[in-house]
Amino acid sequence: MADELKLEIVTPEQMTFRGVVEEVTIPGTEGQFGVLKGHAALLSSVDIGELSFTQDHKKTYYAVNTGYAEVTASKVTVLVETAERFDLIDRERAKRAREQAEEKLAKLSREDVEFVKARLALLRAITRLNVAGRD
């Protein structure tokens, strides 16, 4: 049995987080799931959403973009295209992104290729705003 759980959040820009944590909650494609040390080996795709973990009894939140998570008994590696910590998110920018996406969505028909893109953009903006609201 592993005695600790390491977490790595890797993005193309940098190793965003690396450390020992008590618990991680990951926004998997099939729904959120929590990981504690000693978890069975798991590979899951990750969707736009909120990732959180507890370190020294304190919770930290990240807004993440698509990617995947690899879980072993002692280590979780999260590979995502972006990851932003809740206190570093630019709310104004997220708000603008949400407004833009909403405007676009209002104009497009459901069949449009752009529709999917705009909906994803909206989802990302809303997630970032939600995560930024955490304290």
Partner 1 sequence: MAALKDIKRKITAVHKTKQITRAMNMVAASKFKAAQMRMENFRPYAVKFMEVLNSLALRVDAINHPLLAVREPKRIRVICMTSDRGLCGGFNNNLIKAAERFVREKLRDGQEVSVIPIGRKGRDFFRKKTKVLNARADVFGKFDMSLAVRISEDIIPPFISEEYDELYLLYNEFVNVAVQRPSVVRLFPLPSIGRAEEIEPGKRLDYIYEPSEGIILEKLLPMYMHVLIYRALLETFAGENGARMAAMDNATRNCEDLIQSLTLKYNQMRQSAITAELMDIVGGTEALAKG
Q: Contact positions toward partner 1, by CB under 8 A?
A: 10-15, 28-30, 33, 40-45, 66-68, 70, 72, 77, 79, 81-82, 113, 117
In the complex, least distance from residue 41 CB atom to partner 1, rounded to whole angstroms? 4
In the complex, least distance from residue 1 CB atom to partner 1, rounded to whole angstroms? 16
Task: Give the H or E element holding residue 75.
Answer: strand 75-80
Q: What is d(CA 51, CA 32) in angstroms, rounded to the nearest whole number?
A: 9
In the complex, least distance from residue 13 CB atom to partner 1, rounded to whole angstroms? 6
Q: What is d(CA 113, CA 26) in angstroms, rounded to the nearest whole number?
A: 29
Q: Between 36 and 43, name the residue whose CB sits nearer to partner 1.
A: 43
Q: Between 59 and 85, name the residue whose CB sits nearer to partner 1.
A: 85
92: phi then psi, degrees, rounded to nearest 5: -60, -45
Helix axes 113-132, 91-107, angle to 10 degrees: 150
